Amino acid sequence: MMQAISLLNFSKPSPLFVAPFQRRHCPSIAGAAAPISHLHRNRCQSYRISVPPLSCSGTVQQQEMASDDGQDSRISRISSAIRAIPDFPKPGILFQDITTLLLDTKAFRDTIDLFVERYKDKNISVVAGIEARGFIFGPPIALAIGAKFVPMRKPHKLPGEVISEEYALEYGTDVMEMHVGAVESGERALVVDDLIATGGTLCAAIRLLERVGVQVVECACVIELPELQINLL
């Protein structure tokens, strides 16, 4: 089973991706509940886990970066730097705005450092960033751990030959693309985005990378929306 784990509530993992007998983890730094009742829960019926699991550290007591209350002090600073905008971009949505995090140089550095500490010794050679905010967090993580950055883009944004993966939206479908030759079979990848919500784009990114023989180690996101988490069978 793949799980989405918010570092803000690290002792309470909540399921995101489910598949038989296997587990991956999708850690996020800031768990942020958003009451978005009208969004439908997508299913990714063709998703399969094909590589051995890499377990997350588990509970707050097992984390090296812990304060006296069991939580890294950097996490609260990061969480407080992210503002919530109600009714944007439409009524009923509580939008998690990371632009205020980017204005806080300390909180932004802490965000990157937390991910780098987690992945620097995982033998990751590819950081795949999902358009668009994955392009903000992915490159500094990639540089710090010595990996290349691969953009996962919307249709018709990449020049040259691409490989595509379709995924479900609330209404209809969308497509994610990656350059042919950007990754090689056997490489180990980290998928980066700003937000764990319904999981549709993360699922598409995983499938796209696994189709060309890449081992997806984990997904790394800054914010988690627990009320939108789903099982992807």
> CA–CA distance from 50 to each of 3, 148, 189, 214, 220 (Å)?
16, 23, 14, 10, 19
| SS3 (DSSP) at 192 | strand
| SS3 (DSSP) at 115 | helix
Active-site annotation holder among 133, 153, 188, 207 = 133
What's the rounded Cα separation, in Å, for the pair 49 and 65?
30
Strands 83-86 and 94-97: antiparallel
For residue 17, give every residue at least 6 positions away whose Cβ sits within 8 Å of its Cβ, in sequence order, or none.
1, 2, 3, 4, 24, 26, 44, 47, 49, 199, 202, 203, 231, 232
77 annotated active-site? no
Instruction: Note whether 173 and 202 are within 8 A (CB).
Output: no
What's the rounded Cα separation, in Å, for the pair 198 and 200?
6
- Placement of tokens 């984990």 in the chain: 218
Active-site annotation holder among 83, 170, 184, 211 = 170
Strand ranges (E), the chain: 2-6, 14-17, 25-31, 83-86, 94-97, 126-130, 148-152, 162-168, 173-179, 188-196, 215-224
Residue 37 DSSP label: T
133 annotated active-site? yes
Q: Kindly list the catalytic residues.
A: 133, 170
